[in-house]
């Protein structure tokens, strides 16, 4: 791949030096400058034109979120945030993702963990370098009026439908899976769902441990529908969104005509290339318990997680939707589902909330 030019922004001179040195151990990355605060970062971005910016959330003069908002207005560039592993840090990270950051990396608690963090940062910088600027920095939607279907605000590519599959005409569970770009994409779906949606919703987002609860809280504040961080034994209910806790496998346990949530395997080793929570695992469990009463929705993300789970839902007669390439930050997971023949509809992001509601109204 072409050399990725990076600007490192951090208020700690030690962190700037260490991150820069470790990043440049990768032959595909070149650090072309550093900045100690948000105001200097904006000047350097305009002067140096980096491909990607690595930016600390907490900085003097102009913090990372305020800086990011100005960058997206004045000199748009893909940004990967460095986030404190605290509750406040997690909340700030969600704000940064809303403001247009492509992704984030949690800062290490110990200096010995820095190389691991930078290895993750390298991967995310390379992904960010391939992201189209028109797909980042989209404004967060305001809470919609209480009407059943929201029309997209601007023209979008048409919905692509595969051959229709018969289904039982009643959806009781919607599973939404996503990875890179997911937190921002979810803000164009969840706040547009009505409080009285006649089905439960489960969100599976690839996110570091310690950040999924803040994402749930962030979505809840913006939405009419209730959003909460899933806990052991939670019941799947109409009008409720459950966000899978990072680091746990989530399955459904039948209960009457519905199901409850079971959580397991926190802290256990993952298979190479695996995820916890896994979109595949959650969707396959939904297909087993709900059958044709399940809907699978796959959004932006790197890799293939979710494709086989979505296929399982389709094979049971449920409904399946994949995000259209034109609106994906990373067209990986939806593409895998489309290539596998698992997606019945391929829909631009601004229309997905409408498509979900179309199953009920």
pLDDT one-digit tens code per residue, 96-152:
998 899 999 998 888 888 999 999 999 999 999 998 777 665 444 444 433 333 333
Query: What are the CB-based long-range contacts (under 8 Å, 24+) for 132-135?
Result: 133/76, 133/77, 133/78, 135/181, 135/327, 135/328, 135/329
**Residue among 288, 280, 230, 226 nearest 254 (CA):** 288
Rounded to the nearest 10 degrees, the angle between the axes of helix 13-23 and helix 114-129 is: 70
Q: Is 206 a catalytic residue?
A: yes
Mean pLDDT, range 332-337, rounded to an integer = 98
Of the candidates 246, 264, 250, the residue with the CA atom closest to the CA atom of residue 209 = 246
- Whether 349 and 185 have beta carbons less than 8 Å apart is answered as yes
Catalytic one of 51, 56, 83, 206 = 206
Give me the chain's average pLDDT, please.
Answer: 90
Structure tokens at 50: 């980096």
pLDDT at 171 over 60: yes
Do β-strands 200-205 and 173-178 pair in parallel, antiparallel, or remain unpaired?
A: parallel
Residues whose CB falls within 8 Å of the CB of residue 111, separated by 6 or more in sequence, listed in order = none
Which residue in the list 20, 179, 278, 285 is annotated as catalytic?
179
What's the pLDDT at 144? 46
**β-pairing, 200-205 with 240-243?**
parallel
**The predicted structure's pLDDT at residue 350:** 96
Q: What φ, ψ does residue 161 adopt, rounded to 5°?
A: -110, 135
- Which residue did the predictor score with more confidence, 268 or 133? 268
Instruction: Please list the residue range(s) of the chain that carry CATH number 3.40.50.2300.
Output: 4-135
Is the per-residue pLDDT at 232 higher than 80?
A: yes
CATH of region 160-358: 3.40.50.180
pTM of model > 0.85? yes
Delimit the CATH 3.40.50.180 region(s) of the chain.
Answer: 160-358
Q: How far apart are the first and last CA of the chain?
A: 47
The helix (run of H) or strand (run of E) holding residue 154 is none
Give, in words, the CATH class of 4-135. Answer: alpha beta
| Range 21-27 average pLDDT | 95
Give me the helix-helix angle, 279-290 and 307-315, nearest 10°.
10
Cα distance between residue 283 and residue 250, in whole Å: 10
For residues 279-290, average pLDDT: 97
pLDDT at residue 261 greater than cutoff 80: yes
Q: Is residue 305 flagged as an active site residue?
A: yes
Element (H, E) at 361: none
Residue 148: predicted pLDDT: 39
What's the burial of 84, exposed, middle or buried (CB within 10 Å: 0-12/13-18/19+)?
A: middle
Q: What is the pLDDT of residues 301-330, one digit of tens each?
A: 999 999 999 999 999 999 999 999 999 999
Other Cβ atoms closer than 10 A to 317: 16
């Amino acid at each position: 791949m072409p050399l990725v030019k990076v600007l490192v922004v951090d208020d700690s001179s030690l962190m700037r030096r260490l991150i820069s040195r470790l990043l440049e151990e990768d032959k595909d990355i070149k650090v072309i400058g550093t900045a100690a605060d948000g105001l200097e970062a904006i000047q350097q971005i305009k002067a140096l034109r980096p491909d990607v910016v690595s930016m600390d959330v907490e900085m003097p003069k102009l913090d990372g979120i305020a800086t990011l908002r100005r960058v997206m207005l004045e000199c748009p560039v893909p940004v990967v945030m460095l986030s404190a592993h605290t509750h406040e840090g997690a909340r700030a990270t969600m704000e940064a993702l809303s403001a247009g950051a492509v992704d984030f990396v949690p800062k290490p608690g110990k200096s010995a963990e820095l190389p691991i963090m930078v290895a993750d940062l390298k991967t995310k910088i390379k992904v960010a370098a391939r992201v189209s600027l028109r797909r980042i920095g989209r404004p967060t939607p305001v809470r919609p009026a209480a009407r059943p279907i929201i029309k997209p605000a601007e023209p979008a590519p048409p919905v692509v439908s595969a051959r229709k599959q018969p289904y039982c005409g009643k959806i009781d569970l919607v599973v939404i899976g996503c990875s890179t770009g997911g937190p921002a994409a979810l803000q164009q779906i969840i706040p547009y769902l009505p409080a009285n949606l006649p089905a439960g919703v489960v969100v599976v987002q690839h996110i570091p441990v310690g950040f999924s609860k803040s994402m749930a809280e962030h979505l809840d504040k913006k939405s009419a529908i209730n959003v909460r961080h899933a806990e052991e034994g939670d019941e799947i209910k109409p009008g409720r969104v459950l966000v899978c806790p990072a680091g746990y496998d989530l399955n459904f346990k039948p209960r009457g005509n519905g199901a409850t949530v079971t959580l397991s395997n926190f802290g256990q080793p993952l298979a190479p290339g695996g995820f916890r929570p896994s979109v595949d695992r959650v969707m396959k469990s939904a297909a087993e318990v709900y059958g044709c009463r399940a809907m699978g929705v796959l959004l932006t993300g790197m890799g293939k997680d979710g494709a086989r789970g979505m296929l399982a839902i389709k094979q049971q007669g449920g409904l399946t939707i994949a995000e259209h390439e034109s609106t994906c930050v990373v067209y990986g997971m939806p593409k895998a589902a489309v290539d596998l023949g698992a997606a019945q509809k391929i829909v631009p992001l601004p229309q997905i909330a409408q498509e979900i509601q179309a199953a009920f109204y």
